[in-house]
A and B are shown apart, each in its own frame.
Chain A
Amino acid sequence: MSESVPGLTPEVFAPVEAPVSPPQASEEVEFVQLLTPEGERVEHPDYSFDLDDEAIKGFYRDMTLVRRIDTEATALQRQGELGLWASLLGQEAAQIGSGRALNSKDMVFPTYREHGVAFCQGVNPLNLLGLFRGVDQGAWDPRDNNFHLYTIVIGAQTLHATGYAMGQQRDHAVGDPETGEATIAYFGDGASSQGDVNEAFIYASVFNAPVVFFCQNNQWAISEPIDRQTRIPLYQRAAGFGFPGVRVDGNDVLATYAVTQQALKRAREGSGPTLVEAYTYRMGAHTTSDDPTKYRLSEDLEYWKLKDPIERVKAYLARQAGVDHNFFDEVEAEADKVAAELRQGCLAMPDPELTDFFQYAYVDMPDELAEQRDQYAAYAASFNAEGEG
């Protein structure tokens, strides 16, 4: 009988001492904030917001329109016009702040919830509805707006972003902070557990790829709280991969803009990746199929309502910047108009034909697939002929 296996000495099985009080994932740690929930501008030693009040009015408009689009889409789902909707409620500042920091040549790789970033990139909101209505899987051309298709497999797009950024390097489009290009990858706290995200960090790090990893930590991966994904604040993971990480108040559009802009600048000038953790909260359900009342407390929601990303900008504009009610009324009216158009466009979307979709499986369609398509078309037509007769 062997008493011990070589190499597996008892010491190996001894419990590892936990580090001295590591910061917990859900614990409040310091983040970059430039506009308080009360609408007060504050200073930060490393980051500043250098645009004027007109720009802040623009952010307010963006966030209001995007929230209205989101609300309308949720309503459309409730009325049976969409199969599903993934609401961005509560994450408007994270998305508008980062989206507005992008240059025209930067490339975006979103998840399926980046409606605000899509808006910044000029994607027609109606095009976002197609995949939720089930008429397509993303109807926009990513090359038109430098906004890739929504990716549903969690975290997969972070590798695509990294590869795209490696392409930017090979095209010599990196190096100049003014004219250089960068790529931004959006993902969530749940995705941070995926192998692909960790592999993306490694590839981006060792190749020094010009990519910004923008993590919207909205605290929830469907029903799983952030504590189920990490023991340390997510931004601190970057250090282990060898690039900077920063946590920003994701409900502060000014701070998100400033932090993302700096990370993008770093990427464009060739200094490599940055992890931005936008600390925010998913105010709605994961999707319209989810029921958050089963796993979280309404008190949490009340707490985060006080940190609303839009209200604080409104408070600032009204109290500090002397913006009068006409502006807010105009934005509301515009939002209603955008929502009405969205609804109209959604209802008018034609139903797709299966026959048309065979052609998309391959660039060069195999003969036997063309045959299958023709067989299906003839089969489908036989019902029409019967109906007519």
Chain B
Amino acid sequence: MTKISLGKGINAGLRAAMENDPKVVIMGEDIGKLGGVFRVTEGLQKDFGEDRVIDTPLAESGIIGTAVGLALRGYRPVCEIQFDGFVFPAYDQIINQVAKMHYRSMGKLRMPIVIRIPFGGGIGAVEHHSESPETLFAHVAGLKVVACGDPVDAYWMIQQAISSDDPVIFLEPKRRYHEKAELDESVPPAYPLHQAKVVREGTDATLFCYGPMVKTCLQAAEAAVEDGRNLEVVDLRTISPLDLRTIFASVKKTRRAVVVHEAPFSLGPGAEVAARVTEECFYHLEAPVLRVAGYDTPYPPSRMEEEYLPDLDRVLDGVDRVMGY
């Protein structure tokens, strides 16, 4: 049992995956000697060499495009995109090639590629460094999209993503890189990659969240106790596909739901959760499914990000509204 941060959890998970499978290579900008701008790949190049931990030229389409070629050659590339907003030069390769190769080849070719993206805000950064682009990937058939929310998940989910024969967009909550938790590597993972987990049991309403909002929602749930409310918190973990079974089970129990994410409100993951819950749990609901999300503007200058991002108070406001029906 060791206390480990979320960032170190991913690092340890990458290390384990590379030890277990010589075909795993990792590639990205500044990931070698520097260990990445967030130090997530620290020490890996030293131990696995420059052929398996590849410092790439500063060209994101090139990172993903060459990863496609490496995957066709039998490798399992793990690509680091430095910041969320910098994934877009690679968007064509991700959408048109990575996502569609298996379909195009009628199952003959696989793309076991993991694309790691530090996402979300709250770190006082400049433009393009705080975005939540998950919908732009979750809407594309052929991709799977997951987000880790705690260090233990970080350790296991990155390994599960690397084992996946489908391409995985792996979202890392950058403002939680330094959050710590106890990790026992000898205990096998409790959840498969594409399963949501109930991180706090409750009875009055469910908060659905993922990534950086898991901690926020847990804090909100603790605060709500003072108001006499017992909230359930579900870490979705997987955005595409959604784990509908866990979502429906929770809503059928609590009868009220609020979806929380940093991504903009309209057409965000919350819209899909709300639609699905409405279709499947209509007669169980005491209130419409509500959303607490980023606003439908570009991400603001960082002096305003605390107002823009859902926080404990905005989550509780959402809870007040959903309880008000």
A-to-B contact residues, CB < 8 Å: 109, 136-139, 141-143, 148-149, 151, 153, 156, 158-171, 195-196, 199-200, 202-203, 206, 357, 359-364, 366-369
Near A by CB (< 8 A), chain B positions 15-68 give: 25, 51-52, 56-57, 59, 61-62, 64-68
Asked if A164 and B69 make an inter-chain contact with CB atoms under 8 angstroms apart, the answer reads: yes
Contact check, B75 vs A159: say whether CB atoms are below 8 A apart: no
Return 11 A-B CB contacts under 8 Å, by A number.
A139-B106, A156-B65, A159-B64, A162-B62, A164-B70, A167-B72, A169-B51, A199-B57, A203-B66, A360-B106, A368-B241
Given contacts A156-B93, A167-B74, A364-B166, contact A359 B107 (CB under 8 A): yes
| Bound: A196/B227 CA distance, A | 56
- B254-283 CB mask vs A (1 if < 8 Å, else 0) is 000000000000000000000000000000
Q: A171 — which chain B residues lie within 8 A by C-beta?
A: 73
Q: Is the CB of A149 within 8 A of B65?
A: no
Knowing A136-B106, A206-B57 touch, does A160 contact B165 (C-beta < 8 A)? no
In angstroms, Cα B61 to Cα A161, docked, is 13
Question: In the complex, are the beta carbons of A366 and B194 less than 8 A apart?
Answer: yes
A170 and B25 in contact (CB under 8 A), knowing A162-B66, A362-B166, A363-B165?
A: yes
- Do B68 and A163 touch (CB < 8 A)? yes
Contact of B69 among A138, A162, A206 (CB under 8 A): A162
Number of cross-chain contacts by CB at 8 Å:
138
Write out, one digit per residue, whether chain B residues 233-246 have a CB within 8 A of any chain A CB (1) or not (0): 00000000110100
Docked-complex contact B65 and A363, CB < 8 angstroms: no
Is residue B103 contacting chain A, with contact meaning CB distance below 8 A? yes
Within 8 A of A (CB), among B87-142: 89, 92-93, 96-97, 102-110, 141-142
State the Cβ distance, B89 to closest chain A Cβ, in Å. Answer: 8
Contact A367 B66 (CB under 8 A): no
Q: How far is the CB of B23 from chain A (nearest CB, A)?
A: 9
A368/B242 contact (C-beta < 8 A), A163-B67, A167-B69, A167-B70 known: yes
Contact B97 A168 (CB under 8 A): no
- Chain A CB within 10 Å — which of B62, B64, B67 has the most? B62
CB <8 Å contact, B108 and A141: yes
Known contacts A149-B105, A164-B73, A361-B102, A159 near B61 by CB under 8 Å = yes
Residues of B within 8 A of A159 (CB): 61-62, 64-66, 68-69, 93
Give B216-255 interface residues, CB cut-off 8 Å to A. 241-242, 244
Contact of A166 with B165 at beta-carbon distance under 8 Å, contacts A136-B106, A200-B62, A368-B242 already known: no
Q: Which B-chain residue is minimally distant from A142 (CB atoms)?
A: B109
Q: Once the chains bind, are B97 and A362 in contact (CB under 8 Å)?
A: no
Q: Are A142 and B72 in contact (CB under 8 A)?
A: yes
Cβ A362 vs Cβ B144 within 8 A = yes
